[in-house]
Amino acid sequence: MESHHIHEASRPDHKLVIVGGSKLSGHVNISGSKNSALAILAGTLCFSGTSKLHNSPNNLSDIKTMFSVLRSLGARVEVLNGELKVDTDGLCSSEPCSDSVMKIRAGIFVLGPILARLGEATVALPGGCDIGARPIDLYIRGLRELGAVVELIYMLIIFLINYYRHGKVCAHAANGRGLVGGSFCLDYPSVGATETLMMAASLADGNTVLSNVAKEPEVVDLAQFLNASGACVEGAGSSTIVIRGRKRLDGPAEHTVIPDRIEAGTFMIAAAITRSCISMSPVIPSHLSSLMDKLSAVGCKIKQTTSHTVEISAERLKIEDGLQGLDVRTGPFPQFPTDLQPQLMALLTTCSGTSSVEESVFEGRMGHVLELEKLGARIRVCGSTALVYGMDQGSALYASRVVAKDLRCGASLVLAGMAAEGITEVEGVSHIDRGYEDLEMKLKGLGAQISRQSSLISHF
Ligand SMILES: CC(=O)N[C@H]1[C@@H](OP(=O)(O)OP(=O)(O)OC[C@H]2O[C@@H](n3ccc(=O)[nH]c3=O)[C@H](O)[C@@H]2O)O[C@H](CO)[C@@H](O)[C@@H]1O
Ligand SMILES: C=C(OP(=O)(O)O)C(=O)O
């Protein structure tokens, strides 16, 4: 057992019970971005003072876990009337609580800020969705370019007849000096490595040039937060970022987190898979271009009704009618997001023809396939590509009991359950709670028949 894949889901859980076949209608409010908020929370460690964050999705379990990470370092975190305040005056530790770090991928995002601010950091290897190896070599190599000495240390923890490997990253600024500016070209535009290096370089002595960086909107949001706190980060959103390091950042900023493009995308696919028409806000349409292109190509009609509102319509008489399968390949932004791949795959099982879905970002992000097959989908996986057979090629969604193996797998199963005939049960809801605020309440508000129940009650 690898220690960095321990999930809340290993505890007794709830399930979502879905009566398939309902049409959706109306409007849904989109929460703030999980991945932006997680990076910005780490960013608050770059300076002293109290930051105010609006639109942070504070009810997500991943965000609450990040609060625990920050608190374990001496920060004070408070949520009052939806407004989040993070006070980092009391930062007193360079080693966050390993149990919390090991629950989420973003646990490792604190490495850069702590190292830059305190000159040393020891952080456990992080958790997050179990979708492949997820190394941190780019973080380590990048920090070394900024003058850090970084080592990975593994311990074998033996407990009765079980054992697991517990890994930690230990870093310190070489020769007791702080970090220094440098140049680093990422082999792959990793979101987390880009964010970590951007935060660390903001406090380095001199200028840093990062090339082949991630261009995701969450990277841009973090850069805006850091700049509002006195940092000088230029070029976020392009493939090269230049950071003019400062000894100390001015401090606390007030910032509004961008809307969650993955949550918005999931609701767009919910409308498509139920052949319904819904609207949603706030969204930043340019963050959703690749999904909107694909949904238009399958046959949905998408309209931007205000600068921050989109309406999607896939209304047809019958679920079997109309939508056409297609080929898709995931990739770094602005390509199709891997975090919407499982949800799109669920939709493609209800379209006509054979679709091809290639996962190019994570090596192990096909965990939803087996579960979708339990709901009647016909899918064949060859390496990193799944051939998805549509309704006219043998897929026929019907109710079953399935398990969310990870966050977006869970979302994809909920969507498939809404299109399946009968009552579907989705277990492992704690994965879904990591990244969707009130998913079932929001879907219910749109007309879905969905409820949360104890896993001990069964409909089968
Ligand atoms: C908390 C958060 O923001 N999570 C998001 C973030 O994850 P995360 O930041 O972990 O994703 P990355 O962009 O780093 O990973 C992309 C690819 O790069 C590889 N890699 C990454 C780092 C490294 O040092 N070495 C390396 O090889 C990974 O194994 C993966 O194959 O971006 C992903 C890609 O958009 C999203 O799916 C996640 O939802
Ligand atoms: C993969 C995801 O999250 P994380 O990186 O936190 O595991 C996700 O949000 O789909």
Q: Which ligand 1 atom sits closest to the C-alpha of 128? A: 1
Name the catalytic one among 97, 129, 277, 409. Answer: 129
Q: What is the pLDDT of residues 316-332, one digit of tens each?
A: 645 556 899 999 999 99
Rounded distance between C-alpha atoms, residue 365 and residue 363, angstroms:
6
Rounded distance between C-alpha atoms, residue 59 and residue 237, angstroms:
28
Express as a percent the part of the chain with pLDDT over 70: 95
Please choose from 191, 195, 290, 362 the residue to mutate so as to test ligand 1's pocket, defined by most ligand atoms within 8 A of CB: 191
Provide the pLDDT for residue 412.
98
**In the 8-state DSSP scheme, what is residue 239?**
S
Please give the average per-residue pLDDT across 10-27, as a whole number.
88
Q: What is the pLDDT of residues 359-400, one digit of tens each?
A: 999 999 999 999 999 999 999 999 999 999 999 999 999 999
**Is the pLDDT reported for residue 4 higher than 90?**
no
Q: What is the pLDDT of residues 49-98, one digit of tens each?
A: 999 999 999 999 999 999 999 999 999 999 998 899 999 999 999 999 99
Q: How far is the CA of 190 from the centre of ligand 1 (A)?
A: 5
Q: What is the pLDDT of residues 343-354, one digit of tens each?
A: 999 999 999 999
**Is the pLDDT reported for residue 158 higher than 90?**
no
* Structural domains of the chain ordered from first start: 14-31+259-453 (3.65.10.10), 34-256 (3.65.10.10)
Provide the pLDDT for residue 160.
72
**Residue 389: which residues within 8 A CB-CB, separation 6 or more?**
349, 354, 377, 378, 379, 380, 395
More confident residue, 288 or 166: 288
Does residue 435 line the site of ligand 2, with CB under 6 A?
Answer: yes
